[in-house]
Amino acid sequence: MIHNSKSIKKFGKQFLIHRDYSIPRAFSEWKKLELVDGYILETHPDLAISAASSNDNQVIVLGDIFDPSAPEKTNEQIVETLLQRCSSFSDLEAFVAPLGGRWILATTMYGKTRLYHDAMGLKPIFYMQSDRGLLVGSQPVLLEAIGATEFDPTLGEIFTNYDHPPTHWPINTIPYKGVTQLLPNHTLNLQTGSIERYWPKNPLNPLSEEQAAKGMCSLLTGLIKAMVHRGECVIPLSGGYDSRLLLACAKPVWDKIKFITLTGTHLPHHDLSIPRKITKRFGLDYTVFETAKDNNYAQALLENVGNMYSDLSLLGIKAECMAIGDRMNHSWNDSRN
């Protein structure tokens, strides 16, 4: 989706959870919300936050969450539905299974608070123990910025020199002292710091290829409709299967979507020729942008994630997407933070 912020802000759309931890004055403009047992949630002003409570139960969503079965629902409406329909953590886990987006869910039931993130962990959770209890943040570099941890150069060197694309931390080990990453499909107990895998709990029923394809197409179409309902939506196109699958699933809302291709010196010919042919055939809103890396964007992105994304080609594409957003009088939602 496209939003109205014109630059990448320091720790934009990130969050902290702590209990009476001494937070530097640089974070004084962040929003604050009280949780249970003295814990405080602090969020960057640009981070979407939706909350609902009833009696002793509370549901908070950070980021954007989409319901493919009800694309018209807002973050707030989904949160209210979660609160009304879920009387246990098991109910909640079943309810969020088909939901999309990039989000953090903080749920308090009967005095216990658990943290969840979207199914792929695209909006991450990092945590560590402090002398005042658990300390949680959206990025380890944010925990470093408040003085809670420091970079471990030994682990960092091993990670940098290892023969693999350095774009993700290996499992839950990261080169920041005492910090652990919450893995996808796991939940974090705020009071105890314990981790529990909540999905899958039972054996999965096998599906035929046709059943799986129909189910995934229905899911993707619903999620795209939900994103379009929230605002302007842009889908990048190449000659690959992934983007063409999104194009096909987006057919019911083609007239509400902008399609783009980013060109560059390493772009294969078919990644430009195929999108041009398809979009011309169906009369779609399509634009080709020349890639011109913006070092300021790239550096801001790297700083916000602790120099994690060292694949410079992907970084350049992301930076260019942000620049394109500015040229359209918008900027792209940096929801990876």
Q: What is the per-residue pLDDT across 120-171, written as a single tens digit (0 to 9) for each? A: 999 999 999 988 889 999 999 999 999 999 999 988 887 777 776 656 667 7
Radius of gyration (Cα) for the chain, nearest Å?
21
Question: Which tens digit of pLDDT belongs to each residue from 45-104?
Answer: 999 999 999 988 999 999 999 999 999 999 999 999 999 999 999 999 999 999 999 999
Give the range among 22-26, 36-40, 144-148, 262-266 with minimum mean pLDDT.
262-266
Q: Which domains, from first to last, does the chain contain?
A: 2-197 (3.60.20.10), 209-332 (3.40.50.620)
Q: How would residue 1 be classed by pLDDT, with cut points 50, 70 and 90?
A: very low
User: Taking the mean position of all CA atoms in its chain, how far away is CA 10?
Assistant: 17
Assigned token pair, 176: 């920041």
Task: Return the amino acid letter for 184.
Answer: P
Q: How sure is the predictor about 2, in pLDDT bands with cuts at 50, 70 and 90? A: very low
On the question of a cis peptide bond just before residue 200, with omega within 30 degrees of 0, the verdict is yes
- The distance in angstroms from the start CA to the end CA of the chain is 15
Above 60 in pLDDT, residue 192?
A: yes
Q: What does the pLDDT read at residue 267?
A: 80
Tell me the C-alpha to C-alpha distance, in Å, between residue 28 and each of 11, 44, 158: 13, 10, 36
In terms of pTM, does the model score above 0.75? yes
| Alpha-carbon span 98 to 82, nearest angstrom | 13
